Amino acid sequence: MTYRFNGNDQFDYEILLALGAAWRQGADVGEVLAAASATTDGDAETWFSTWTELARTAREQAGKSAAGGHAVSARDAYLRAAAYFGTALVSVDACADPEARLREVFAEHRACFDRFAETCDPPAERVAIPYEDMALPGYLMSPPGRGGPLPTLIVVNGSDGPVNAAWTLLGAPAVARGCRALLFDGPGQQSMLFQHGVTFRPDWENVITPVVDFLRGRADVDRERIALAGISQAGYWVPRALAFEHRIAAAVADPGVVDVSESWWPKLGPELRGLWESGDRETFDRVVREAVHADPATAAIWRWRSKPYGVESPFDLLTEIAKYDVTPVVQQITTPLLITDPEGERFWPGGSRRLYDALPGPKELIRFTEDEGAHLHCEPTGRAVFEQRVFDWLDTYLADLRPPA
């Protein structure tokens, strides 16, 4: 990297994401840089308090604008407030009383996003997608001045991203191009995890198929032009779903993920992997727990990353994550799939090329580089470049499926 804002790798990346979100009004560059300046020491409490205070300031500004009848200013400020609350929560597991803080700030985050959604033009529709014996909460966002059945993008979030990130990274560019965009929380994601205790599952086709059923039952959705796109760990969930759900017109994985566990093992090392492969659960759990708890920062990251799986034992956790591997079903994928390949991908390096090479059907691999400022995981600071390449590809596929006039 040619620039850095924080000594903590995760915090530094969150700052880059926030800067990139400014492209879609999800942050203000000056506000982000001021917060980054106040949190350079990487202290979790400082991070949490700085971003929470900024979020509450933006929320107050939104309320004043709304009261004065300034709808656009209110909308944009509510989105920024939601984003800053979401950024604060990244450090919550390293703070005192994390569960109470998570409940309080997550509720504030979602309330701000709800207000943003209500003030969009047209207002977003809050939806409940039937799923097993419950419902997945979501938002159906639509472009202004467009009626009738429209192409619709299903947005799949990553392992821990807030809903505002799903909007700025994928939803907003889809709506700007005349599509509807469906944002939702699946198992293990945000409200489904924090408020309902529902954890991840590897067989994501059992999530996407009910979502497709829901959309195809609506008169305002073009049932033949439903696309699917996912960010971060959804680079696994998207191809996994495509192996079974063949009603998707085209899809995007940003980046491509073959085996989710590959993002875990580099930090644990080959010796621990060998111990896990030996099946010695008791020793593996003891060694990992000792190593994790020796470093508070590592312990916090471990808690945050493992929370969505709902598994306490480190051995059992890695055993569960090993199920998140698309290799056994990749030959079943026939949907056109675009895969991003950002230079400097740190979670799944090489995964995009491996997925691309394994796919039997229509596919495209798009490289993003540091020279153009669009590198790193999910291209945080190259959003205009990302949108141009990815959505031009997606638009072409969806246009080819447009019914004759």
Structural domains of the chain in order of their starting residue, each with its CATH number? 8-119 (1.20.1440.110), 122-259+324-400 (3.40.50.1820), 261-321 (no CATH)
| CB-based contact 35:6 (threshold 8 Å) | no
| CB-based contact 332:211 (threshold 8 Å) | no
Q: 251 - beta bridge partners?
A: 228, 337
What's the Cα-to-Cα distance from 6 to each of 1, 10, 44, 112, rounded to whole Å?
Answer: 12, 9, 12, 27
Q: Which two tokens stand for residue 300?
A: 């916090």
Q: What is the pLDDT, as a whole number, of residue 267? A: 87
Exposed/middle/buried for residue 342 (C-beta within 10 Å: 0-12, 13-18, 19+): buried
Residue whose structure tokens are 């207000």: 115
| Cα 85 to Cα 48: distance, rounded to the nearest angstrom | 9
- Buried residues in 50-75 as b, exposed as e (16+ CB within 10 A): bbbebbbebbebbeebbeeeeeebbb
Q: What is the pLDDT, as a whole number, of residue 295? A: 86
Q: What are phi and psi of 289, to 5 degrees?
A: -65, -40
Q: What is the pLDDT, as a whole number, of residue 392? A: 97
Q: What is the pLDDT, as a whole number, of residue 239? A: 98
Q: Which of 41, 57, 325, 21 is nearest to 167 (CA)?
A: 21
Q: What is the pLDDT, as a whole number, of residue 208? A: 98
What's the Cα-to-Cα distance from 214 to each of 136, 221, 299, rounded to whole Å?
Answer: 11, 10, 40
Angle subtended at Cα 152 by Cα 215 and Cα 119, rounded to the nearest 5 degrees: 95
Residue 40 carries which side chain, given as an amino acid letter? T
Residues 6+ apart with CB under 8 A from 26: 18, 79, 80, 83, 164, 165, 167, 168
| CB-based contact 90:14 (threshold 8 Å) | yes
Q: Which two tokens stand for residue 394?
A: 């997606």
Q: What is the pLDDT, as a whole number, of residue 2? A: 64
Side by side, the strands of the sheet bearing 221-231 are: 125-131, 134-141, 180-184, 150-156, 221-231, 250-254, 337-342, 363-368
Per-residue pLDDT of the chain (405 residues; tens, 9 = 90+): 567 999 899 999 999 999 999 999 999 999 999 999 999 988 999 999 999 999 999 999 999 999 999 999 999 999 999 999 999 999 999 999 999 999 999 999 999 999 999 999 999 999 999 999 999 999 999 999 988 899 999 999 999 999 999 999 999 999 999 999 999 999 999 999 999 999 999 999 999 999 999 999 999 999 999 999 999 999 999 999 999 999 999 999 999 999 999 999 998 999 999 999 999 999 999 999 998 888 888 888 899 999 999 999 999 999 999 999 999 999 999 999 999 999 999 999 999 999 999 999 999 999 999 999 999 999 999 999 999 999 999 999 888 776 655
| Cα 325 to Cα 195: distance, rounded to the nearest angstrom | 28
- Tally of helices (H runs) and strands (E runs) in the chain: 17, 8
